[in-house]
């Protein structure tokens, strides 16, 4: 079966750096997405990786290793507004998105 | 501005009742999707459509039905056969044929049982 694993919850301090990991086992791979979802709201797109390596976008970066079935989302200079769930999703061989359960990130002052 | 509009934001269903959730997009996207999200869980695909008058079942289609009569619209009906409909329902859309574009989401509909 297809599976995406993320930690359920993480806690970090305002101004610090946090890394959220995602491992996947899917039938085929056509890219990996990270989304941010605030409580009670819709997910919003953060990043997309299809080749190995690091993609940087402001305070957020996303890394992919296809051989290891592994990605991480790196958040720098954490702000209180970064408190949210972060969803990892993989586009499989049928171009369907397979979603992880999300990681709830709690930011403390 | 282009986007996806879901309505209503909150919906209550009585036992044995069918209810319909609306989803409209003006992004000119070909593909549209319905997801269900339960607390602390990821998104699960209910139905998707890549072209007008055609749609496919997702992982949890039982108890739900959809139609795609217009490109812009993809309503979801939660039937009385869905015994546990309380959840957050998200509609999404994406263009086709451009690699792997991100999905754009509506603001969601929260459905509860009376």
3-state secondary structure B25-79: ECCCCCEEEEEEECCCCCEEEEEEEEECCEEEECCCCCCEEECCCECCECCEEEC
Which of B4, B40, B41, B42 is the best mutation test for A, with the most CBs of A within 10 A? B42
For residue A91, the chain B residue with the least C-alpha distance is B100
Average pLDDT, chain B: 90
**Percent of residues, chain B, with pLDDT higher than 70:** 95
For residue B97, what pLDDT band results from cuts at 50, 70 and 90? Answer: low
pLDDT at B110 over 60: yes
pLDDT of residue B1: 63
Are B100 and A30 inside 8 Å of each other by CB?
A: yes
pLDDT at B21 over 60: yes
Residues of chain A positioned with their CB less than 8 A from the CB of B99? 31, 50
Handedness of CA A41, A42, A45, A50 (dihedral sign): positive
Q: Which of B114, B90, B111, B107 has its CA nearest to residue B19? A: B111
Residues of chain B positioned with their CB less than 8 A from the CB of A50? 99-100
Give chain B's count of helices (H) and strands (E).
Answer: 0, 11
User: Who's near A92: CB < 8 A, 6+ residues apart?
Assistant: A2, A26, A27, A28, A29, A30, A98
**Which pLDDT tens digit goes with each residue over A55-98?**
999 999 999 999 999 999 999 999 999 999 999 999 888 778 88
pLDDT of residue B103: 82
Q: What is the mean pLDDT of residues A95-107?
A: 91
How many Å apart are CA B37 and CA B15, to the nearest integer? 21
Q: What is the mean pLDDT of residues A5-15?
A: 97
For residue B58, the chain A residue with the least C-alpha distance is A96
Are B106 and A42 inside 8 Å of each other by CB?
A: yes
For residue A33, the chain B residue with the least C-alpha distance is B102
Are A50 and B100 inside 8 Å of each other by CB?
A: yes
pLDDT at B100 over 80: no
Residue B114, burial from CB neighbour count under 10 angstroms (0-12, 13-18, 19+) = exposed
For B27-47, give one letter per residue: b (16+ CB within 10 A) or e: eebebbbbbbbeeeebbebbb
Are A43 and B105 inside 8 Å of each other by CB?
A: yes
CA distance B71 to chain A (A): 19
**Which pLDDT tens digit goes with each residue over B40-54?**
888 999 999 989 999
**Which pLDDT tens digit goes with each residue over A11-22?**
999 999 999 999
pLDDT at B34 over 70: yes
User: Who's near A37: CB < 8 A, 6+ residues apart?
Assistant: A43, A44, A84, A85, A86, A87, A102
**Which pLDDT tens digit goes with each residue over B71-80?**
999 999 999 8
């Amino acid at each position: 079966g297809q599976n995406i694993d993320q930690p359920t919850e993480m806690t970090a301090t305002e101004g610090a750096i946090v890394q959220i990991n995602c491992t996947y086992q899917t039938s085929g791979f056509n890219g990996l997405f990270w989304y941010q979802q605030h409580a009670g709201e819709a997910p919003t797109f953060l990043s997309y990786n299809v080749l190995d390596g690091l993609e940087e976008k402001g305070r957020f970066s996303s890394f992919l290793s296809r051989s290891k079935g592994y990605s991480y989302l790196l958040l720098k200079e954490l702000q209180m507004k970064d408190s949210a769930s972060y969803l990892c999703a993989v586009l499989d061989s049928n171009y369907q998105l397979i979603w992880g359960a999300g990681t709830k990130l709690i930011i403390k002052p | 501005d282009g986007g996806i509009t879901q309505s209503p934001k909150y919906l209550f269903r009585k036992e044995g009742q069918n209810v319909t959730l609306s989803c409209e997009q003006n992004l000119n996207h070909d593909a549209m999707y319905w997801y269900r999200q339960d607390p602390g869980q990821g998104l699960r695909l209910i139905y998707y459509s890549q072209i007008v008058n055609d749609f496919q079942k997702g992982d949890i289609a039982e108890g739900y039905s959809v139609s795609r009569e217009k490109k812009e619209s993809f309503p979801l009906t939660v039937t009385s056969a869905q015994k546990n409909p309380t959840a957050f329902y998200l509609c999404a859309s994406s263009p086709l044929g451009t690699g792997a574009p991100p999905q754009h989401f509506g603001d969601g509909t929260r459905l509860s049982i009376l």
